[in-house]
Chain A
Amino acid sequence: MRRSALAAIAAIGSASLLVAGCSKADDNKNENGTKSAGANAATKGVVNASDKKGGTLTYELSDVPDSFDPGNTYYAYMYNLSRLWARPLMTFKPGAGEEGNTLVPDLAASKGVPSDGGKTWTYKLRSGLKYEDGSPITSKDVKYAVERSNFARDVLSLGPNYFQQFLAGGDKYKGPYKDKSDKGLSSIETPDDTTVVFHLKQAFQEFDYLVAAPQTAPVPKAKDKGVDYVKSIVSSGSYKFQSYEDGKQAILVRNENWDAKTDPLRKQLPDKIVVKLKVNPETIDQDVLAGKAIDLAGTGVQASTQADVITDPDKKAGTDNTFGGRLVYMAINTKVAPFDKVECRKAVQYAIDKVSVQTAEGGPIRGEIASTVLPPDIPGYAKSDVYATSGNKGDVAKAKAQLKACGKSSISTNISARSDRPQEVDAATAIINSLKKVGINASLKQYPSGKYFTDYAGVPKFTEKQNLGLIMMQWGADWPSGYGFLQQILNGKAISQSGNTNLAQYDSKDVNNLLSKAIGTQDTTERNSLYTQIDKKTMDDAVLVPLTYFKVLLARPQNYTNLVSTAAFSGQYDYLNIGVASK
């Protein structure tokens, strides 16, 4: 039902945009009449670089974000956008592609200083920092922000809890709403108003990535209203909230108490920033193509618009097609027989025609065929293809040979996909057809994405009971490093009884040890080489089938300035300094 409705939207949207396209011969020209910078220009550098101030910048989102509260959000686009009103200790340098993965100090004056072998991290704040009301920002506000966002998940439940996991004593602290003392969590120290020190349980050499989360953006304790803080956020960034209507719209205006001298990153260009929510996706595409808005989610244009823009050379010149830091893959459940045997898993690896899967996912523009766990835009990636087949179309002979080695001539199993993700269902169907050729009969089981991890694919007992041997999945890193990508999907210690994301239930001592070793290794090159080793070991064990490296197709609004697609935020444009070319 839902698929046919979406197909209808797609067809109609495509037809209507075709009409629109026919009547505008010069759509790739901006308001100044100049040609666009060319296809993929924003993946190589900043497009329309400008310091011009003024105008209204509009973001449109077809959904609603989890929250505008920096301590209660987990969406990549909110991590990106929230930096306008919430300055974390560290952030990512606005830069093209992997250059955007570069960490730079934001609220902090410099990168974290590790000591005790990486178990203690010290940050010094910049001087002269102020909130929108003119009151000074202190290190205590940073400490409080981390405490409220990680240790009160019954109140602010939507963000991640890495600090709770990694800080010493994090498992015992009850959070600032229950613990009324001023002392707070003892493993975060604030010896003075500009210094904050984090004490960790174990060495963690990528801690600078953790403090780049909006959870370290300061929150004044006296102004915190728990879940209602979202209605009166106190800005530490270059913009502040003029109005906020839950689920509808937010309007940001310049924060007069933000001082450019304390902030080498932000330019504060537009006069006003409007964030519209629940906008028809077709309308968003129309507005983006007309240069009037940015698609906040940054996942790319609709399928109907895609057909329009990639067939029109002028429109294609105004698009950016880049990796989104994500892997589309199928986990092979090592706890469901006969996939507990590596040969049976290898039979699956060889059997799959990845070209048919790529087509089902939307074609090459939506993803390159994958052969490694780490995508190309994540450090640690090394080109490799352990189960190479001619033209990536699968190899029936090799698959059958592996099946024989496994002691089977046929296998009967189930494959799961999210029912409200038509491309995932289509990809699973393509896989079923491939597997059938070698004698592996998989039946498709569809589950809603809202409960995929809590009730179905993420519940090991359920998968074992339901003979779910193959599980469709898509994964992106919480921060752009090998650890940020691999830890939750390959670490045996991450397997949980519900909400599990290590869907293969892969518990390899080698991989677990390599992950622990990597995160304690200070040298970046050495650390990345460990991630490469983990990738290779995982592929040798054949516990997941990489299908495609996910790509986004962004339409670039011609009327906006400083557009650069960054790997740090899944290929989205960096939202820190976008301006308006004409008011």
Chain B
Amino acid sequence: MISYILRRTFAAVILLLVVSAVTFAIFFLLPRLAGQTADQLAQQYIGKSPSKADIAAVKHNLGLDQPVYVQYWHFIKGIVAGADYSIGPTTVHCDAPCFGYSFKNHQAVWPELTSRIPITLSLAVGAAVLWLLSGVVAGVISALKPRSVYDRAFMGVALAGVSLPMFFTGNLALLLFTEQLPIFGRDYVPFTENPSQWANTLFPAWCSLALLYSAIYARLTRSGMLETMNEDFIRTARAKGLRERNVVVRHGLRAALTPIITVFGMDVGLLLGGAVITEYVFSLPGVGQYAVQGITDNDLPKILGVTLLAAFFVVIANLVVDVLYAAADPRVRLS
């Protein structure tokens, strides 16, 4: 198990290096190939009517006067060993892992990311619990009572949930729960400050996100369970006199869980990299908002930071999924 995790961790580091190199290349090499000069790139980060000296100074400060591979090396070095930035009257040390300084407002990326991760994490985890519970329960009931009123109702809601975009469900939830029936707050409160307020302000966002995702889980669970419940081992379990609840949960559901775990891991991993639209609709200052700001400002360090963070979470989620496979299915061995 430990050697498996070590191997996967090493592979993850390589993957993250590749992701960072590709992002770097997209940001620097493609525009160069299209004819953009370093001066033009630098000029995006200065106000109106810059002098040549201004452009040269900004180019130097941002390291844009160096070859791309040197810039990339400095970036990687900063993540491992930290970096010093001498911009203006003071020299600022950026501790490892230093993801660089924003080209636009010269603020360090890593502290910004770490201050936003709890918000995105809160959103993703709360919504994930809701969608997993509601999706799996709806899927199981639908599978046990196929073509019943319950089945049709759950699948109808699931279809609506997966079809309606977050712009609709989110704005509707905001209108209903914070304006028409103001039982939920809107301004995010950290969990460490007030757990009940934290849940209160995030609940509309959780519900909207869960509605979107639970549909997939309900349908996956339903189809998996329908298939599993007709297997020979289920008939055997029933013949052995096991209670129906045990047959469904311990044998049927467990066997149907594998694809759900796979999708769940990927979904949570991706969400932790920033639930862009949900954060936008609910005005949550999370990683997704930071990503959008980076893209709007053409701010490479911000974009790189979020890309690597998202890739990291996806890799970790995949690792956790693999470990969970073994728990869900004894036939799987981590070797």
Q: Are B88 and A152 in contact (CB under 8 A)?
A: yes
Q: Is B168 an interface residue (CB 8 A)?
A: yes
CB-CB contacts below 8 Å: A399-418 with B? none
Q: Is A386 an interface residue (CB 8 A)?
A: no
Determine how close the nearest CB of chain A comes to the CB of B28; give it in whole angstroms: 14
Q: Is B219 an interface residue (CB 8 A)?
A: no
CB-CB contacts below 8 Å: A434-461 with B? 450-451, 454-455, 459
Q: Of the listed stretches A39-47, A159-167, A253-261, A360-368, name the one at the interface; the rest are far from the partner chain.
A: A159-167
B174 contact from A8, A177, A283, A494, Cβ within 8 A:
A283
CB-CB contacts below 8 Å: B62-121 with A? 87-90, 92, 104-107, 112, 115
Q: Are B58 and A157 in contact (CB under 8 A)?
A: yes
B45 contact from A157, A165, A494, Cβ within 8 A:
A157
Q: Which residues of A contact B44 (CB under 8 A)?
A: 450-451, 454
Q: Encode contact with A along B190-227: 1 for CB under 8 Å, 0 otherwise.
A: 00000000000000000000000000000000000000
Q: Kindly state the separation between the CA atoms of A250 and B210 in the bound complex, as whole angstroms.
A: 31
Q: Which residues of B contact A246 (CB under 8 A)?
A: 105, 107, 112
Determine how close the nearest CB of chain A comes to the CB of B297; give it in whole angstroms: 7
CB contacts between A and B, total, < 8 Å: 147
Q: Is A523 an interface residue (CB 8 A)?
A: no
Q: Are B88 and A499 in contact (CB under 8 A)?
A: no
Q: Which residues of A contact B45 (CB under 8 A)?
A: 157
Q: Is A154 an interface residue (CB 8 A)?
A: yes
A286 contact from B179, B187, B280, Cβ within 8 A:
B179
Q: Are A451 and B54 in contact (CB under 8 A)?
A: no
Q: Which residues of B contact A455 (CB under 8 A)?
A: 36, 40
Q: Is B245 an interface residue (CB 8 A)?
A: no
Q: Is A194 an interface residue (CB 8 A)?
A: no
Q: Which residues of B contact A501 (CB under 8 A)?
A: 48
Determine how close the nearest CB of chain A comes to the CB of B86; give it in whole angstroms: 10
Q: Kindly state the separation between the CA atoms of A278 and B44 in the bound complex, as whole angstroms.
A: 22
Q: Which residues of A contact B246 (CB under 8 A)?
A: none
Q: Encode contact with A along B139-169: 1 for CB under 8 Å, 0 otherwise.
A: 0000000000000000000000000010110
Q: Encode contact with B along A20-58: 1 for CB under 8 Å, 0 otherwise.
A: 100100000000000000000000000000000000000
Q: Which residue of B lies closest to A162 (CB)?
A: B49
Q: Are A496 and B88 in contact (CB under 8 A)?
A: no
Q: Of the listed stretches A221-229, A315-323, A565-573, name the one at the interface; the rest are far from the partner chain.
A: A221-229
Beyond A160-B49, A225-B90, whether A153 also contacts B57 by CB under 8 A is yes
Q: Are A279 and B49 in contact (CB under 8 A)?
A: no
Q: Of the listed stretches B130-138, B236-244, B282-290, name the one at the interface; the rest are far from the partner chain.
A: B282-290
Determine how close the nearest CB of chain B comes to the CB of A94; give it in whole angstroms: 27
Q: Which residue of B lies closest to A16 (CB)?
A: B175
Q: Which residue of B lies closest to A459 (CB)?
A: B40
Determine how close the nearest CB of chain B comes to the CB of A566; give it in whole angstroms: 23
Beyond A225-B88, A455-B40, whether A157 also contacts B167 by CB under 8 A is no
Q: Encode contact with B along A224-259: 1 for CB under 8 Å, 0 otherwise.
A: 111110100000000000000111110000000000
Q: Which residues of A contact B50 (CB under 8 A)?
A: 153, 157, 161, 499
Q: Which residues of A contact B105 (CB under 8 A)?
A: 66-67, 158, 227, 230, 246
Q: Which residues of B contact A160 (CB under 8 A)?
A: 47-49
Q: Is A506 an interface residue (CB 8 A)?
A: no
Closest 7 CB pairs of A and B: A226-B88, A154-B57, A227-B106, A155-B88, A153-B54, A248-B285, A157-B46
20 examples of A-B residue contacts, CB within 8 angstroms: A9-B171, A16-B172, A19-B180, A153-B57, A154-B60, A155-B87, A164-B51, A171-B51, A225-B90, A226-B89, A227-B107, A230-B105, A245-B115, A246-B107, A277-B285, A280-B171, A450-B298, A454-B44, A455-B40, A499-B50
Residues on B lying within 8 angstroms of A by beta carbon are 36, 39-40, 43-51, 54, 57-58, 60-61, 87-90, 92, 104-107, 112, 115, 165, 167-168, 171-172, 174-175, 179-180, 186-187, 280-283, 285, 289-290, 293, 296-298
